[in-house]
Amino acid sequence: MAKTAIVTGSARGIGKAIATQLAKDGFNIVIIDACPIEASEETAAEIKALGVETKAYKCDVTSSEQVNAVVEDVNTTFGSVDVLVNNAGITKDGLFVRMKEEDFDAVIAVNLKGTYNFTRAAAPLMMKQKSGRIVSISSIVGIQGNAGQVNYSASKAGIIGLTKSVARELASRGVTANAIAPGYVETPMTAVLPDKVKEAMLGAIPMKRYGQPEDIANVVSFLCSEKASYVTGQVLSVDGGMHM
C-alpha cells in the first residue's frame, strides 16, 4: 500500500513543488491550503496525473478543530499518515516599533501554531504505526533574524524549537522530525518584494543565484526517504550559503 503525505500550504509555490516531488517518490498526496478549494483541487489534479492518489482540503491551520477533522479524514481515506510537511506560512512585515499586535499574532498563529496543530494531530497516528516523517519549513531568518520581520523570524525560530523537542519525544517510536531553513526562494510570496531588496539578497548569496522551490523539495524528499532514517532533530539550511 502506498504511503501518504500531507503537505500544508501546497496549492502553489514551495508547497506545490514539495507535493509534486513526493508524488514522484510514490506517495499519495494530500493538498492542504487556505486558498479557494478550486486552486487546491487544480494542483491535486495535476499531481494525480503522476499516478498517485490525491485529495485537496481547504483548511485554516490555526483552527485545531479543522486540522483534527482533516487529519482524521485523511487517515480514514488513505489508511495512514506517513509524512507531514508543515509548509503553510504568511508574512506581515514591518519594523518592530510600528508592528501592529494583530500582525504579530496572525503570523505566529499561521506559521507556528499551525505547525503545532498539524504535528499534534498527526503524531499519535505515527506513534501508533511506529513510523513517520515530520518535516517543517523554517527559514534562514529563524536562525539569524531579519530587520522588519520580527513576527516572521519569531515564528520560524519557534518551529526550530518545536522540531527539536518533538524529535526527542518521538524518536523511540520510529518517527523523525526535522526542519529546513530556506534562504531566498523565488515564489509568489517573495515576488512582491521591492527590487532593491531582491538585489541586496542576491548580493548576500555566495552561490549568486536565487533558490527555486525544487531546491527545497529535493531536501524534503531526502528527509522523507529511508535514506534519512537516522536523521532527526536537525535543521538543514538550503540557502546557497547565506548562513554559514
Sorting pLDDT into bands at 50, 70 and 90, what band is 229? very high
Sorting pLDDT into bands at 50, 70 and 90, what band is 13? very high
Q: Is the pLDDT of residue 1 over 90?
A: no
Across-strand partners of 55? 30
For residues 233 and 33, the answer to whether their CB atoms sit within 8 Å is no
Written out in words, the top-level CATH class of the domain with range 4-232 is alpha beta
Give the type of residue at 6: I
In the chain, what are the domain boundaries? Answer: 4-232
What was the pLDDT predicted at 207? 96
What was the pLDDT predicted at 222? 98
Sorting pLDDT into bands at 50, 70 and 90, what band is 199? confident
For residues 239 and 182, the answer to whether their CB atoms sit within 8 Å is yes
Sorting pLDDT into bands at 50, 70 and 90, what band is 198? confident
Question: What pLDDT digit, counting tens, does each position of 20-55 carry?
Answer: 999 999 999 999 999 999 999 999 999 999 999 999
Give burial (CB, 10 Å; 0-12/13-18/19+) of 193: middle
Contacts of 171 (CB under 8 A, 6+ apart): 232, 233
Give counts: helices (H), strands (E), the chain. 10, 7
Residues noted as catalytic: 152
Across-strand partners of 29? 5, 54
Question: Taking the complete model, does pTM exceed 0.85, yes or no?
Answer: yes
